[in-house]
């Protein structure tokens, strides 16, 4: 046996002994006898999980679920299922845990857990049962009296017409134009589902890596910067109608059409106002940046930008 194998076995043994020792401490600590059984099993589970003994941790969460009731039991079953699926890769344990959570009737299991349940059944070769569950999870189940018409279900998540309309309203104008007309919202549902499912598959495929996170962070920075700029700087720059008319009268050459005819003032007013705002924004931007540099004590090393000798 190589020294590396011995070292690894030694580490695993050490971790196991540490976990056993911690569990023993949990069992023997003062006040243990007064603790509810569910809390005892939960404490054991946390110790095993911290020691990477995931199957043992899942079994303790299952025991905690059986020893409790209501929402507490429901959450323990979900924890057990997640550990079995993600860490122990024990699909039988995962399926049993998710099914127990589902059958508790206390709440609907989250869409991700529902997907894991279906995948667990498939991995166990229970294709027919998995398909039955998939059909059940994606079946429409409108709830009358709640003021929301259900358009579709994705896993256990209901997608309402109100949600679809709100999502469509957030699309860029050129995208919204593709979903006008009588069946526009129905066609948008297909686009909505297509986008969401592509996103979920991308996550499963591990595409949310460091490069992607950096790109998302750059987009977030750019998006929020523009929103702040429009709200707090650009929107406060005002140009009066009198100033616009004076500029128009003094610079007629800028407002002639291809035939050399002067365009009416009202026709060019909006464009002229935006251009004048942008010109004034250059000064506003410089002043705001200078003020921030002073407030934050930013120091710029001019030598770093000096031409190389």
> pLDDT class for 67, splitting at 50, 70, 90?
confident
Alpha-carbon dihedral sign for residues 34, 40, 42, 47: positive
Express each pLDDT in 245-298 by its tens digit.
999 999 999 999 888 899 999 999 999 998 999 999 999 999 999 999 999 999
- pLDDT of amino acid 156: 60
Task: Quote the mean pLDDT of the chain.
Answer: 80
Task: Determine the Cα–Cα distance for residues 292 and 274; give it in Å rounded to an integer.
Answer: 26
Residue range(s) defining the domain that contains residue 281: 239-298
How high is the pLDDT of residue 107?
64
Number of domains the chain contains: 2
pLDDT tens readout for residues 84-99: 998 888 989 888 888 8
* pLDDT tens-digit readout, 172-229: 888 889 998 888 898 999 998 898 888 888 888 888 888 988 998 999 999 999 999 9
- Position 265 in a domain: yes
Q: Would you say residue 284 lies in a domain?
A: yes
**Last residue of one domain, picked from the residues 110, 125, 158:** 110
Q: Domain containing 42 — which CATH number?
A: 1.25.40
Residue 19 scores a pLDDT above 50: no
- Please indicate, yes or no, if residue 232 is contained in any of the structural domains: no
pTM: 0.45
Sign of CA dihedral 279, 285, 288, 293: negative
At residue 40 the predicted structure's pLDDT band, cuts being 50, 70 and 90, is: confident
User: According to the model, what pLDDT value does residue 138 have?
Assistant: 53
* Backbone torsions φ then ψ of 200, nearest 5 degrees: -65, -40
35 found inside a domain: yes
Residue 141: C-alpha distances to residues 1, 112, 135, 269 (Å) = 60, 19, 12, 53
């Amino acid at each position: 046996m190589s020294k590396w194998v011995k070292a690894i076995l030694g580490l695993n043994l050490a971790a196991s002994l540490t976990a056993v020792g911690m569990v023993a401490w949990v069992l023997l600590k003062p006040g243990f006898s007064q603790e509810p059984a569910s809390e005892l099993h939960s404490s054991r589970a946390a110790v095993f999980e911290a020691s990477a003994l995931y199957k043992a941790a899942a079994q303790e969460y299952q025991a905690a679920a059986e020893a409790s009731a209501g929402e507490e039991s429901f959450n323990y079953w979900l924890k057990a299922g997640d550990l079995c699926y993600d860490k122990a890769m024990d699909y039988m344990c995962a399926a049993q845990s998710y099914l127990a959570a589902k059958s508790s009737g206390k709440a609907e299991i989250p869409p991700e857990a529902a997907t894991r349940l279906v995948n667990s059944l498939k991995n166990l070769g229970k294709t027919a049962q998995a398909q039955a569950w998939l059909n059940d999870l994606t079946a429409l189940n409108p709830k009358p009296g709640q003021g929301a018409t259900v358009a579709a279900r994705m896993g256990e998540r209901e997608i309402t017409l109100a949600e679809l309309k709100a999502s469509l309203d957030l699309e860029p104008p050129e995208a919204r134009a593709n979903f006008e007309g009588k069946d526009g919202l129905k066609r948008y549902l297909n686009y909505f589902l297509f986008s969401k499912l592509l996103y979920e598959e991308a996550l499963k495929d591990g595409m949310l890596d460091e490069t992607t996170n950096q790109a998302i962070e750059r987009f977030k920075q750019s998006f929020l910067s523009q929103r702040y700029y429009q709200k707090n700087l650009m929107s406060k720059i005002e140009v009066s109608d009198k100033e616009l008319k004076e500029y128009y009268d003094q610079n007629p050459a800028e407002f002639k059409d291809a035939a050399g005819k002067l365009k009416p003032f009202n026709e060019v007013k909006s464009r002229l106002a935006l251009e004048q705002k942008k010109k004034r924004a250059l000064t506003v931007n410089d002043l705001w940046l200078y003020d921030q540099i002073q407030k934050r004590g930013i120091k710029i090393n001019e030598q770093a930008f000096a031409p190389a000798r």
